[in-house]
Structures are given as C-alpha cells and as structure tokens.
Amino acid sequence: MKLLIGYTADERGAEAIELACALISDRAVDSLELAMVLPEDTPFQATYPGGDHGYHTVLSAQADRWAEQALALVPEGISARVTARTVSSVAHGLIELAAETGAEAIVLGGRSRHKAGFFAPGAVATSLLHASPVPVLMSNPRGVAALRQAKGRISRITAFVGDLPGAGEVIDQAVRSAERLGMGLRVATLVTSQEQAGEDSPVLRATRQQLDELTSGLGEHVEPEVVTGASIDEAIASIGWLDGELAVFGSSRLAPPRRLFLGSKAQRMLRHLPVPMAVVPHRSGGSGR
C-alpha cells in the first residue's frame, strides 16, 4: 500500500505522518510519499528521495530542511521520500501526485478549529473531500491524542452507513481495510430524531433489520450498531470510541463515479469526531452491496 501525505512543515504535517504510519501494515511492502505542494510563486521544485537512495537535486535550502525534517518523523524501516512541487492549486496538485505515484489514499493533518469550538477542515481538505478520486484520511487534534494513547496503531474501524445506495461500497472497503490491518470492524447507522429513536419505533426496527442484512455473512469480527440521539451531535457523543479508532464515511449520492463528495450529514458528524476519519469515493458503476 502506498499513501500520499500532504505534508506541511508544522504540527499538522507531523500529525499527518503519524496517521499514515498507523495505517502501515507491512513495512516491507507499504511506503509513504510525502508531498510538499506549494503555491506557484514559491521559487523551487525538488525531489528528495529518502532511505539509502541519497538526495539528488534540491533547488532550495529551505526545501532541503523541510524534507529532512519530514523524513526524520518517519519511523525506521518504513520506505519514504519527499517530493516538492509548485502548483496553482494545492488540492489539485495532491490529486495529480496521487495519480503519478500510484498512491491509494491521501493523508492530511487537521488543526483547524471553528470559532464555535468544533473541528473544521481547512480549505485544502475541504476541496479534496469534494473532488478526490482516492480516499482521503484526515486527523484532528482529539483523534491524534487518541491515536497516541493507542501507541500509534489503529485499533478498530467504524464504518458509518445510511439507507441510501452505496452503503455496501463503504462496508466492502472497510472490510478490506480491517482485514489488511488485522482488526475488528464496527458498522454503525445513526437514527437521530426523538420520535424515531424510541426502542419500539418502526424506523428503529427497520434500521436494525437493514443493518443486519448489510452485515450478514461478514463474520463474527464485524459488529453492527445502531446509534441513537436527539441530534447528530448527541448521537456522535454517545458512541463508545476506542483509542486509535478510525471512522470511515462514504461519499454522498451527489458524487460522480470514482470521486469523493462529503455529504451534509457526514460534514456535521466530522465536526465532533474524537478519532481520525477517512472518506471513500464511489466506485465506477453500481451501488455496491
């Protein structure tokens, strides 16, 4: 597995590397591409391979220092290199680099916080969450703290699904990720109105039945869970999270094939997540399970 990290020479960049390293399942096979994608008015462009390859061409002493700092954050034994590139759009530059390097996902740090106190992705992350052809993974301050409590390893995956076509896609991708990392999978659905969240409500019974059908045959390591609350914020707060957990979301039905589009419900959930998150694009053709 190859991951592309959108690296910035600050705390966000360090946290992105932490999250990416937590997703490494086989150090002999997996690798990291650390991308410094810079505005066009930045006067350099460089490639800095890490490991035993030495360094080839660096057109700026600053890029050299940033590259060395980035590689120093990667644990020993994980293959990594840094590429710096000037582009007109940072988000589009990351998408282009992901295609060029064959990266299976883009990983970002996330320190932005709304003035109201909840987490909010920055401009680059928002652009990627509505256009990327590969999954986007993003940390947040609380999620990084929980990951460190888990000694830098993902402990469980929770895939959030709704009642729209495409739920099976999210589950299928989450199952593959859980198997690759050797951990359990929780599949969760939110029911968020007081009238619908009653234990005997028809909506809640139908939701549980649908979730059981979606997860049937996936094995004992897949745990279905219906989460209730008067609001999305309340429901998210009621979920029991493990340190080192990763939340996975699918794309909105508005997303074109092989593209991300984070829906409004997932955006609200993102604001209060205490764990890192991943958003996966639709597959081309079909709606999955």
Per-residue pLDDT for 228 more than 70?
Answer: yes
46 HSE (CA, 13 A, CB side): 23
Q: Poorest-confidence range of 16-25, 132-141, 276-285?
A: 276-285
The mean pLDDT of 154-181, rounded to a whole number, is: 87
Q: Is the pLDDT of residue 273 over 80?
A: yes
Return the number of other C-beta atoms located less than 10 Å from residue 131's C-beta: 17
Q: What is the pLDDT of residues 32-62, one digit of tens each?
A: 999 998 766 555 545 555 543 333 344 467 7
Report the candidate in 155, 160, 191, 189 with the shortest Cα–Cα distance to residue 173. Answer: 160
Q: What percent of the chain has pLDDT over 90?
A: 39
- Is the pLDDT at 261 greater than 50? The verdict is yes
Examine the pLDDT at 15 and tell me if it is beyond 70. yes
pLDDT at position 135:
94
What is the pLDDT of the chain when averaged over all its residues? 82
- What pLDDT is attached to residue 288? 39
Question: Closest Cα to residue 37, out of 7, 62, 58?
Answer: 7
Q: Over the stretch 229-240, which tens digit does the pLDDT of each residue have?
A: 888 888 888 899
Q: Which residue has the higher pLDDT, 7 or 273?
A: 7
Region 178-184: what's the mean pLDDT? Answer: 91
Smallest CA-to-CA distance from 263 within 112, 133, 161 is with: 161
Q: What is the mean pLDDT of residues 176-180?
A: 91
**What pLDDT does residue 152 have?**
92
What CA–CA distance (Å, rounded) separates 34 from 14?
11
Cα angle 93, 259, 192 (rounded to 5 degrees) comes to 120
pLDDT at 93: 93
Say whether pLDDT at 150 is over 80.
yes
CA separation for the pair 141, 77 (Å, rounded): 26
Residue 11, pLDDT > 80, answer yes
Examine the pLDDT at 155 and tell me if it is beyond 70: yes
Out of 82-86, 154-158, 166-170, least confident range = 166-170
pLDDT tens column, 71-94: 999 999 999 999 988 888 999 999
Q: Provide the whole-model pTM.
A: 0.86
**pLDDT class for 246, splitting at 50, 70, 90?**
very high
189-215: average pLDDT:
78
Q: Is the per-residue pLDDT at 168 higher than 70? A: yes
Q: How confident is the model at residue 285 (pLDDT cuts 50, 70, 90)?
A: very low
